[in-house]
């Protein structure tokens, strides 16, 4: 019997200690792991390997991680690969810039290895979901809020009939809110339902992704409402459903 193919992770980082630590722990978690020390090497390896997840350091010796991310996203065969930005910078500008160029998630150094591994597992699962969704037939299932419409089977989002491209985490957040109009989700619940990780890890990333989702929705950004002291919910002052 042929053994199952392991999910591939490509680590692009020039720090030997970080490389060794992450390669060991990701392999222990069941991934096939490859590593590169420069942006150029990483881009070439990504093209060859087509990994499910790419862990990309923001600071590389030859090319900024943001530029590497842009180049990776320009390659058609890597459109479904998930990219996690690994950075020593934790300010909002760097996080937003990372999302602008196509990153799906970020982790700030120093980081919890356990949290990083859990996030990589979640990203790998969503990469599989996206690939399956691309080949699915249209069943007619829709969720909507005002001019926002979500095809939950094929992972297609439209705003006023114009298609909007969302990264997998943004899509999953939006779909979850639309599936449960008015229900308040705590940050811990969102981590469990969207990221697939427990509340024992940092919840700051939830706020960043919600902010980014609101920006991507433009005029409909007020769809996701903050419930201070609790979390987030879909605003219910307009009919929602599918």
Delineate the domains of the chain, giving CATH numbers in brackets: 8-134 (3.40.50.2300), 143-241 (1.10.10.10)
Q: Which of 28-37, 84-93, 211-220 tops mean pLDDT?
A: 28-37
Q: For residue 30, give both structure tokens.
A: 């069941």
- pLDDT score of 239 more than 50: no
3-state secondary structure 24-92: HHHHHCCCEEEEECCHHHHHHHHHHHCCCEEEEECCCCCCCHHHHHHHHHCCHHHCCCEEEEEECCCCH
pTM: 0.74
Residues 173 and 148: beta-carbon distance below 8 Å: no
In sequence order, what are the residues at sequence separation of 6 or more whose Cβ sits closer than 8 angstroms to the Cβ of residue 44?
36
pLDDT at 155: 87
Mean per-residue pLDDT for 177-191? 92
Residues 144 and 242: beta-carbon distance below 8 Å: yes
**Residue-averaged pLDDT of the chain:** 87
Residues 51 and 9: beta-carbon distance below 8 Å: yes
- pLDDT score of 12 more than 50: yes
């Amino acid at each position: 019997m042929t053994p199952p193919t392991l999910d591939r992770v490509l680590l692009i980082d020039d720090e030997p200690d970080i490389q060794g630590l992450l390669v060991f722990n990701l392999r222990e978690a069941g991934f096939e792991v490859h590593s590169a020390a420069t942006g150029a090497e990483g881009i070439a390896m990504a093209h060859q390997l087509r990994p499910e997840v790419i862990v990309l350091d923001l600071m590389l010796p030859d090319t900024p991680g943001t530029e590497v991310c842009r180049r990776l996203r320009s390659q058609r065969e890597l459109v479904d690969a998930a990219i996690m930005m690994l950075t020593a910078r934790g300010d909002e500008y760097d996080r937003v810039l990372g999302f602008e160029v196509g990153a799906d998630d970020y982790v700030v150094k120093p980081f919890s290895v356990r949290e990083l591994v859990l996030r990589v597992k979640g990203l790998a699962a969503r990469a599989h979901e996206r690939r399956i969704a691309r080949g699915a037939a249209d069943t007619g299932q829709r969720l909507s809020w005002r001019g926002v419409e979500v095809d939950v089977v094929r992972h297609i989002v439209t705003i006023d009939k114009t298609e909007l491209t969302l990264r997998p985490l943004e899509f999953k957040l939006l779909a979850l809110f639309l599936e449960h109009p008015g229900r308040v989700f705590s940050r811990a619940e969102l981590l469990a339902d969207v990221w697939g990780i427990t509340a024992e890890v940092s919840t700051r990333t939830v706020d960043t992704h919600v902010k980014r989702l609101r920006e991507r929705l433009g005029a409909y950004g007020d769809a996701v409402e903050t419930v201070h002291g609790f979390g987030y919910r879909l605003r219910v002052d307009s009919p929602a459903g599918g």
